[in-house]
Amino acid sequence: MNTPTDNTPQPEPRPRKRPGGGGGENASGKGAQNARELAHWNHSRVPSASELLAIGELFQGMTPHRMKLHQLALLREHVLAYRIRCGHPEIDAFMDAIFLIDFNLECYFKVHDARAGRFLHPLSRSTGKVTPFELSTQLAWQCSIAPDVLLDEAPVMHAAGFFYASGHFWCAHPVEVAKRGTPRVLLHEVRQARRRMLRADLDFLARQAPQEGRLLRALLLGATAGDGVDGEQFARLLTVLHLWSERITYPWGAQVIDLKS
Protein backbone atom coordinates (compact mmCIF):
# COMPACT_ATOMS: atom_id res chain seq x y z
CA MET A 1 0.00 0.00 0.00
CA ASN A 2 1.27 3.42 -0.95
CA THR A 3 1.98 5.83 1.86
CA PRO A 4 0.22 9.19 1.32
CA THR A 5 2.57 12.13 0.89
CA ASP A 6 2.15 15.55 2.51
CA ASN A 7 2.28 18.26 -0.21
CA THR A 8 1.83 21.17 2.18
CA PRO A 9 4.40 23.88 1.26
CA GLN A 10 7.07 24.17 3.90
CA PRO A 11 8.77 27.45 4.92
CA GLU A 12 12.20 28.14 3.56
CA PRO A 13 14.96 27.44 6.05
CA ARG A 14 16.24 30.55 7.78
CA PRO A 15 19.71 31.60 6.63
CA ARG A 16 22.35 31.40 9.26
CA LYS A 17 23.53 34.74 10.55
CA ARG A 18 27.02 35.47 9.34
CA PRO A 19 29.32 36.64 12.08
CA GLY A 20 29.98 40.32 11.56
CA GLY A 21 28.03 40.18 8.29
CA GLY A 22 25.40 42.45 6.85
CA GLY A 23 22.21 40.80 8.17
CA GLY A 24 20.44 41.10 11.46
CA GLU A 25 19.70 44.23 13.41
CA ASN A 26 22.25 46.40 11.61
CA ALA A 27 20.74 45.71 8.19
CA SER A 28 17.16 46.10 9.38
CA GLY A 29 18.07 49.31 11.19
CA LYS A 30 19.73 50.72 8.10
CA GLY A 31 16.76 49.71 5.97
CA ALA A 32 14.38 51.43 8.36
CA GLN A 33 16.52 54.56 8.32
CA ASN A 34 16.55 54.60 4.50
CA ALA A 35 12.78 54.13 4.45
CA ARG A 36 12.32 57.06 6.82
CA GLU A 37 14.59 59.25 4.68
CA LEU A 38 12.79 58.32 1.46
CA ALA A 39 9.44 59.12 3.07
CA HIS A 40 10.57 62.74 3.47
CA TRP A 41 11.03 62.97 -0.31
CA ASN A 42 7.56 61.66 -1.12
CA HIS A 43 6.14 65.03 -2.09
CA SER A 44 5.82 67.11 -5.26
CA ARG A 45 7.78 70.20 -4.25
CA VAL A 46 11.26 71.40 -3.45
CA PRO A 47 11.88 70.67 0.25
CA SER A 48 11.87 73.53 2.72
CA ALA A 49 14.43 74.07 5.48
CA SER A 50 12.19 72.39 8.07
CA GLU A 51 11.70 69.37 5.78
CA LEU A 52 15.44 69.07 5.21
CA LEU A 53 16.08 69.22 8.95
CA ALA A 54 13.54 66.44 9.48
CA ILE A 55 15.59 64.18 7.19
CA GLY A 56 18.70 64.63 9.31
CA GLU A 57 22.15 66.01 8.65
CA LEU A 58 22.68 66.09 4.88
CA PHE A 59 26.33 67.15 5.01
CA GLN A 60 28.94 64.56 5.90
CA GLY A 61 31.00 65.02 9.06
CA MET A 62 33.89 67.39 9.51
CA THR A 63 35.40 66.30 6.20
CA PRO A 64 34.80 66.49 3.33
CA HIS A 65 31.95 68.90 4.25
CA ARG A 66 29.94 67.65 1.28
CA MET A 67 26.35 66.47 0.98
CA LYS A 68 25.61 62.75 0.99
CA LEU A 69 25.38 61.56 -2.62
CA HIS A 70 22.04 59.76 -2.40
CA GLN A 71 20.42 62.80 -0.75
CA LEU A 72 21.99 65.06 -3.35
CA ALA A 73 20.52 62.99 -6.18
CA LEU A 74 17.01 63.15 -4.66
CA LEU A 75 17.37 66.87 -4.05
CA ARG A 76 18.40 67.57 -7.66
CA GLU A 77 15.49 65.48 -8.93
CA HIS A 78 13.05 67.62 -6.94
CA VAL A 79 14.66 70.92 -7.90
CA LEU A 80 14.61 70.18 -11.62
CA ALA A 81 11.05 68.88 -11.49
CA TYR A 82 9.37 71.37 -9.16
CA ARG A 83 11.22 74.68 -9.06
CA ILE A 84 9.28 77.72 -10.31
CA ARG A 85 9.97 78.35 -14.01
CA CYS A 86 10.41 81.80 -15.56
CA GLY A 87 8.71 80.83 -18.85
CA HIS A 88 11.67 81.53 -21.13
CA PRO A 89 13.05 78.19 -22.46
CA GLU A 90 16.69 79.23 -22.78
CA ILE A 91 16.77 80.99 -19.39
CA ASP A 92 15.09 78.02 -17.71
CA ALA A 93 17.66 75.72 -19.32
CA PHE A 94 20.42 77.98 -17.97
CA MET A 95 18.98 77.76 -14.44
CA ASP A 96 18.71 73.97 -14.64
CA ALA A 97 22.31 73.74 -15.87
CA ILE A 98 23.60 75.54 -12.77
CA PHE A 99 22.09 72.86 -10.54
CA LEU A 100 23.66 70.00 -12.47
CA ILE A 101 26.88 70.86 -10.60
CA ASP A 102 26.87 69.23 -7.16
CA PHE A 103 28.62 72.07 -5.36
CA ASN A 104 26.22 74.68 -6.75
CA LEU A 105 23.23 72.66 -5.62
CA GLU A 106 24.69 72.22 -2.15
CA CYS A 107 25.23 75.97 -1.84
CA TYR A 108 21.49 76.58 -2.18
CA PHE A 109 20.48 73.99 0.43
CA LYS A 110 22.71 74.59 3.43
CA VAL A 111 20.10 75.37 6.09
CA HIS A 112 20.72 78.77 7.69
CA ASP A 113 19.68 80.23 11.03
CA ALA A 114 17.65 83.26 9.93
CA ARG A 115 17.43 84.54 13.51
CA ALA A 116 21.06 85.62 13.27
CA GLY A 117 20.10 88.63 11.17
CA ARG A 118 18.54 91.93 12.20
CA PHE A 119 15.06 90.41 12.26
CA LEU A 120 13.35 87.07 11.71
CA HIS A 121 12.57 86.38 8.09
CA PRO A 122 8.88 85.61 7.35
CA LEU A 123 9.78 82.28 5.70
CA SER A 124 11.39 81.04 8.91
CA ARG A 125 9.00 82.24 11.62
CA SER A 126 7.98 78.71 12.62
CA THR A 127 11.47 77.17 12.83
CA GLY A 128 13.95 80.04 12.61
CA LYS A 129 15.59 78.15 9.73
CA VAL A 130 15.66 78.88 6.00
CA THR A 131 17.50 77.73 2.88
CA PRO A 132 19.08 79.99 0.25
CA PHE A 133 16.80 78.29 -2.28
CA GLU A 134 13.69 79.48 -0.43
CA LEU A 135 14.92 83.06 -0.18
CA SER A 136 16.13 83.12 -3.77
CA THR A 137 12.78 81.85 -5.02
CA GLN A 138 11.07 84.70 -3.19
CA LEU A 139 13.58 87.23 -4.52
CA ALA A 140 13.16 85.93 -8.09
CA TRP A 141 9.41 86.40 -7.86
CA GLN A 142 9.63 89.88 -6.34
CA CYS A 143 12.12 91.06 -8.95
CA SER A 144 10.07 89.69 -11.85
CA ILE A 145 6.90 91.56 -10.80
CA ALA A 146 8.49 94.78 -9.52
CA PRO A 147 6.78 97.98 -10.80
CA ASP A 148 9.84 99.11 -12.78
CA VAL A 149 10.18 95.80 -14.63
CA LEU A 150 8.55 95.44 -18.06
CA LEU A 151 6.71 92.25 -18.98
CA ASP A 152 9.36 91.07 -21.46
CA GLU A 153 12.07 91.73 -18.86
CA ALA A 154 10.41 89.50 -16.23
CA PRO A 155 12.18 86.22 -17.18
CA VAL A 156 15.59 87.91 -17.04
CA MET A 157 14.79 89.46 -13.67
CA HIS A 158 13.51 86.13 -12.36
CA ALA A 159 16.89 84.51 -13.05
CA ALA A 160 18.82 87.61 -11.93
CA GLY A 161 16.98 87.65 -8.60
CA PHE A 162 17.48 83.94 -8.10
CA PHE A 163 21.25 84.03 -8.62
CA TYR A 164 22.06 87.55 -7.40
CA ALA A 165 23.24 86.28 -3.99
CA SER A 166 24.84 83.09 -5.34
CA GLY A 167 28.32 84.34 -4.40
CA HIS A 168 27.20 84.75 -0.78
CA PHE A 169 25.82 81.22 -0.74
CA TRP A 170 29.01 79.81 -2.30
CA CYS A 171 31.14 81.49 0.35
CA ALA A 172 28.84 80.16 3.12
CA HIS A 173 29.28 76.54 1.96
CA PRO A 174 30.97 74.48 4.74
CA VAL A 175 33.95 73.73 2.45
CA GLU A 176 34.62 77.43 1.86
CA VAL A 177 34.12 78.36 5.52
CA ALA A 178 36.61 75.65 6.49
CA LYS A 179 39.16 76.98 3.98
CA ARG A 180 38.91 80.52 5.40
CA GLY A 181 38.58 79.39 9.00
CA THR A 182 35.76 81.89 9.54
CA PRO A 183 32.29 82.65 8.18
CA ARG A 184 33.47 86.22 7.48
CA VAL A 185 34.29 86.92 3.84
CA LEU A 186 35.59 89.79 1.72
CA LEU A 187 33.34 91.37 -0.87
CA HIS A 188 35.71 90.62 -3.75
CA GLU A 189 35.64 86.93 -2.73
CA VAL A 190 31.84 86.98 -2.97
CA ARG A 191 32.03 88.47 -6.47
CA GLN A 192 34.64 85.94 -7.56
CA ALA A 193 32.49 83.09 -6.25
CA ARG A 194 29.46 84.29 -8.21
CA ARG A 195 31.58 84.45 -11.35
CA ARG A 196 32.89 80.91 -10.80
CA MET A 197 29.39 79.54 -10.38
CA LEU A 198 27.71 81.34 -13.28
CA ARG A 199 30.18 82.53 -15.91
CA ALA A 200 30.38 79.48 -18.22
CA ASP A 201 26.62 78.96 -18.39
CA LEU A 202 25.94 82.70 -18.78
CA ASP A 203 28.31 82.81 -21.75
CA PHE A 204 26.45 79.87 -23.29
CA LEU A 205 23.10 81.57 -22.68
CA ALA A 206 24.39 84.76 -24.33
CA ARG A 207 25.09 82.72 -27.46
CA GLN A 208 21.71 80.96 -27.38
CA ALA A 209 19.60 84.04 -26.61
CA PRO A 210 21.85 87.08 -27.18
CA GLN A 211 19.56 89.87 -26.00
CA GLU A 212 18.39 88.23 -22.78
CA GLY A 213 21.65 86.42 -22.13
CA ARG A 214 23.84 89.50 -22.39
CA LEU A 215 21.51 91.50 -20.17
CA LEU A 216 21.41 88.77 -17.53
CA ARG A 217 25.19 88.38 -17.66
CA ALA A 218 25.63 92.13 -17.19
CA LEU A 219 23.26 92.19 -14.20
CA LEU A 220 24.99 89.28 -12.48
CA LEU A 221 28.64 89.75 -13.44
CA GLY A 222 28.86 93.43 -14.39
CA ALA A 223 28.41 95.29 -17.66
CA THR A 224 31.25 95.69 -20.15
CA ALA A 225 31.58 97.91 -23.21
CA GLY A 226 31.21 95.01 -25.63
CA ASP A 227 27.99 93.60 -24.17
CA GLY A 228 25.71 95.81 -26.22
CA VAL A 229 23.41 96.31 -23.22
CA ASP A 230 21.24 99.41 -23.05
CA GLY A 231 22.60 101.63 -20.27
CA GLU A 232 19.24 102.95 -19.06
CA GLN A 233 17.71 99.49 -18.94
CA PHE A 234 20.72 98.07 -17.13
CA ALA A 235 20.71 100.81 -14.47
CA ARG A 236 16.96 100.52 -13.91
CA LEU A 237 16.98 96.75 -13.48
CA LEU A 238 20.13 96.73 -11.36
CA THR A 239 18.45 99.19 -8.99
CA VAL A 240 15.52 96.80 -8.60
CA LEU A 241 17.93 93.96 -7.82
CA HIS A 242 19.76 95.96 -5.17
CA LEU A 243 16.58 97.14 -3.46
CA TRP A 244 14.95 93.73 -3.22
CA SER A 245 18.07 91.69 -2.49
CA GLU A 246 18.86 93.70 0.63
CA ARG A 247 15.51 92.65 2.11
CA ILE A 248 16.05 88.98 1.38
CA THR A 249 19.75 88.16 1.75
CA TYR A 250 20.71 90.11 4.86
CA PRO A 251 21.76 86.98 6.87
CA TRP A 252 24.59 86.39 4.36
CA GLY A 253 25.35 90.04 3.69
CA ALA A 254 26.00 90.53 7.40
CA GLN A 255 29.06 88.29 7.05
CA VAL A 256 30.63 90.38 4.28
CA ILE A 257 33.45 92.73 5.25
CA ASP A 258 35.50 95.30 3.33
CA LEU A 259 32.36 96.59 1.60
CA LYS A 260 34.21 99.51 0.03
CA SER A 261 36.89 97.43 -1.65
Task: State the pLDDT at residue 15.
Answer: 43
Task: State the pLDDT at residue 44.
Answer: 74
Task: State the pLDDT at residue 92.
Answer: 98
Task: Find out whether 131 and 111 touch, Cβ atoms under 8 Å.
Answer: yes
Distance CA 65, CA 178 (A): 8
Task: State the pLDDT at residue 128.
Answer: 73
Task: State the pLDDT at residue 221.
Answer: 96
Taking only the tens of pLDDT, the chain with its 261 residues reads 444 444 544 444 444 444 444 444 454 555 545 555 555 566 778 988 888 888 777 777 666 788 888 889 999 999 999 999 999 999 999 999 999 999 999 999 988 876 655 445 555 555 678 899 998 999 999 999 999 999 999 999 999 999 999 999 999 998 999 899 998 999 899 999 999 999 999 999 999 999 999 999 999 999 887 788 999 999 999 999 999 888 777 767 667 775 443
For residue 185, report the phi and psi dihedrals to the nearest 5 degrees.
-150, 150
DSSP single-letter state for residue 21: S
pLDDT tens sequence across 135-173: 899 999 999 999 999 999 999 999 999 999 999 999 999
Task: State the pLDDT at residue 54.
Answer: 82
Q: Annotate 126-161 with DSSP letters as a single string.
A: TTSEE-HHHHHHHHHHHHHT-TTS-GGGHHHHHHHH
Burial class for 62, CB neighbours closer than 10 Å (0-12, 13-18, 19+): exposed
Task: State the pLDDT at residue 258.
Answer: 56
Sign of CA dihedral 259, 177, 59, 126: negative
Distance CA 102, CA 59 (A): 12
How do beta strands 256-257 and 185-186 pair?
A: parallel
Task: State the pLDDT at residue 97.
Answer: 98
Task: State the pLDDT at residue 70.
Answer: 86
Rounded alpha-carbon distances, angstroms, from residue 86 to 36, 94, 144, 158: 33, 11, 9, 6
Task: State the pLDDT at residue 28.
Answer: 52
Distance CA 53, CA 127 (A): 10
Task: State the pLDDT at residue 121.
Answer: 52
Task: Find out whether 141 and 158 touch, Cβ atoms under 8 Å.
Answer: yes
DSSP single-letter state for residue 6: -
Distance CA 97, CA 67 (A): 19
Distance CA 46, CA 43 (A): 8
